[in-house]
Structures are given as structure tokens and as C-alpha cells.
Amino acid sequence: MAQHWQETLPVDQYIVASGGLLHDYDRKVLTFLYQPLIGPACLSLYMTLWAELEENRLWSQPVTHHNLMTIMDMNLKDIYQARQKLEGMGLLKTYVKNGEEGRSFIYELQPPLTPEQYFLDGMLNVYLYRKVGKNQFLRLKRFFSDKSTESEPGYEEITKAFQDVFLSVPTQALIYNEDSAADLDTEEGNAFIGRSEASKIQIDPAEFNFDLLLGGLQESLIPKKAFTSKVKEAISNLAFLYGIDALKMKNIVLSSVNAENEIDIEELRKSSRDWYQFEHQDQLPALMDRTQPVQHKAGIEKPKTQEEELVVYFEKTSPRQLLIDLSGGAEPSKGDLQIIEEVMFKQKLLPGVVNVLVQYVMLKTDMKLTKGYIEKIASHWSRKQISTVKDAMQLAKSEHRQYLEWAEGKKTPSSSGKRKPVRKEVLPDWFGKKGEGEPQQQTDPAGSDPDFEIEKKKLEEELKKFKSGR
């Protein structure tokens, strides 16, 4: 991923445009429904860009990013990160043009979803529920809803239709010549001021393996015509939201077929949610960065050492993919994924930091992801506010002896008065040859364990593979 200084510089100009008129009510939607998911920095950027538009106009005057940095009191790195989140949330479209005088951008603000669209979205409402909790979510639902006219008993609609009110005119009156036709259209390069339809979050269906899903379903059970474009869009969204692969999705789809051999999208959503809550003890998924955020990356363009290669790998890889790589391509178990999820959400550790933690713990515990051990170290790293891969590696080195005692579940040798023989201790490659006074390995006085040596060699081979970019 390109760094912010490669994408945007303070001298680059930008113009704010609007995809349509933004209403004052949109501020409440953005503040109460979007802000819990994107954070205050993103909301501040959106509001600042919005403020640059003159009232009832769609374009602002050009200005440099340095001006934006000054107004928001933020560095360009944070602004770039906030811009990306707005783009991902469908609230901003970005256009760039490279000219002789430098780069220029157009930031086109997109209107947020209406409250009705948001609460029926199927993705954003689930993330919001997980983020704010049941009581606050229900309060927001009440805030953004009111009585409907249909709820008032005893009333019947008597609204007149167009043809009931207006008379038709002769056909000739509706015919206009070429000169008047030009007057009725917009001028070239212009567009009427209006309000564009807010775009929903949609995961690209190509991200989901529909071939594997359809291959597991017999034609007699579900006809292929049942997989309409809307159904495929719903499946790809639900697969991303709940982490459902094609094989698991097969049973969920089967449970969502109605009497007409069609896939009921609402039933599909309910079945997917029920599956996830059953697998995760009634919890709902939370919205987090899938890999290390840009602002917490080391910015290594061309790694020169093995340690730098591993840093880059940890930064661009999700914890789930790391578990897959460590197991030689096998899917991680449900229990391991739950441990990783709890560490990320409860201890608020970033994905790259979690990758360092997972590799360290698995090497220390003979490739077993021990829940108590990993949570104890994660709690320590959370208190130390570790946010980068390099800081996580450094802390693991400096606290190595303490973590070793936690793994063994005993007191220090000096306090216990006796020392049990231990077998060779495996350390991550990034510990390096210099251990700052501490040995790389501890020799087993009783002799090495042959089985352990075999496992060690296998692990070293796996680490070489995924460090080379496999």
C-alpha cells in the first residue's frame, strides 16, 4: 500500500464537490449513526469539507491541503487515513489529475444513507449494534423513527391522482421545435442541482467463491436462476460480515429457500446472523481494520533484512491469514479464531501487533495457541499502548524472561531454589543473534527431544515460506 506522502502533499490543491444537496438532517445521521463506526477524525474531515461549500452550491474554490491541515490541526497522514475511511464507507469519492503544476484533487461528498436505509442495511446496522450496545442502539432507533400515518385508525386515503386534477391538452401543445429543445436541456458540462441516491456498502461478489457454492448445491435442490444479482450481492455482503466461507454458506442458503424455490434474502440474513451468534456465544461482529492501519506502519518500501521483511509481512497480513500460513494452508480452528477476536476487540490491539503476538506465543508453546498465556501478554501490551509491529517485537525481546516465566507457570529460579531441566527454547527469527545479554537458547541438560527438533525444523521451513511472500 502506498504511503500518504506518495499520494498527497501539502502543496497539492483540492476542490470540494457534492454529489447533491446535503441537508441539515444529514448532520444528525452522520453524528449518531456513522461516527461510532468511523470515529471523530473522519466526521471532522467530512464536516470541514462540507463547510467549504457555499450554501446551495455544489463546488468550492480550490485550496491546498496545507490549508486543510491548518484548519483541522491534523497532520497529512491522519487526514489521508480519515479520507480512506470515508471512501470505504461510501461517503466520499476522490478524483485526481496530474498536471504540469502538480496534482489536484476533487473530493466529492456523498450523502449518507437515510435512517430507514441505514437500519435496514444488513451490515452497518449490525456493526453499530455491536459498537454501541443494545440500549443505545434501541435509543437511536427511537430517535430516528416516528409514527406512520398507517398507525392512525379510522382514516382512509382520499388523495387525488394527477389525471383527476389536471386536464389533458392537445397533442400539438406538447411538441416543441429544435430551438426550444435546447432550452429545456442543461448546458453542456453542467448538471442540475439535486440529490443523488446514497450508495449502500456493497462487497464485490467476485470476493466470494460462488463456483464452490454452486458446485455443492444440486440443481434439484435450488435452481441456478434463484441466484439473482440481488441474492449474490446479499451473499457476498453476509460472507464478509460474518466470515462465512462457501462451504458453510451452503447450509445457510438451503435453510433460506422458500416454497417457490427462491432464496428469501431476509431469511438468508437471519440464518447468517443466527449461525454467527451460535458460533460466537451470541456476539455480533465488530468493524475493524483488516490489516495494520497505514498510520501505524513502519513505511518500509524495500526491505533489506529478514527482520524488515517480516515487519512488512506482519503489516500487510491479517491475523486469520497468519494462522493459515503457520498451519501450511489449513483453515484455523474456531477456538483459535475466537481467541484472536477477543484479543483484538477486548485488548484493542492492532492487526500487525496481534500477528507478532501470535507468532511469539505459538513458538513458545509448541505451536499451541494457549488462551490464558496469549491474553496475559496481550493485556500487558495493551497497557503499554503498543501500536506498531516494531514496538511489539522490541517489547517481546526486552520482556522475554518475564514471558518465559509466565509460560512455565512458576516463580523465578532464584526464588524457588531449584531449577527444572527444560528443553531447547525456540525463539522467533526477529530476536536476532544479539540478545542483549540473554542467551538465544537454553540447553537441556538431559539431552534434546528428537520429536521437538523435528517440529522445530518444520516450523522453520514454514516461516521461511511465509516470509518470502507465500
Q: Look up residue 194 and give its amino acid.
A: G
Task: Flag whether pLDDT at 305 surpasses 80.
Answer: yes
**pLDDT, mean of residues 402-411:** 66
Number of neighbouring beta carbons within 10 Å of residue 232: 16
DSSP, res 418: -
Q: Which amino acid is at 258?
A: N
- In CATH, what number does 4-113 get? 1.10.10
Report pLDDT for 246.
85
* pLDDT tens figures, 33-75: 999 999 999 999 999 999 998 766 778 889 999 999 999 999 9
Residue whose grid cell is 461482529:
285
Q: What is the pLDDT of residue 417?
A: 47
Give the contacts of 415 (CB within 8 A, at least 6 positions apart): none
pTM of the predicted protein model: 0.53
User: What confidence tier does 433 reach under pLDDT thresholds 50, 70, 90?
Assistant: very low
**pLDDT at 330 > cutoff 60:** yes
| Burial (CB count within 10 angstroms: exposed 0-12, middle 13-18, buried 19+), residue 8 | buried
**What are the extents of the domains in the chain?**
4-113, 205-279, 294-467
Lowest mean per-residue pLDDT among 34-43, 262-271, 327-336: 327-336
C-alpha dihedral, 180 to 186 to 189 to 195, nearest 10°: -170
Q: What is the CB neighbour count within 10 angstroms for residue 302?
A: 6
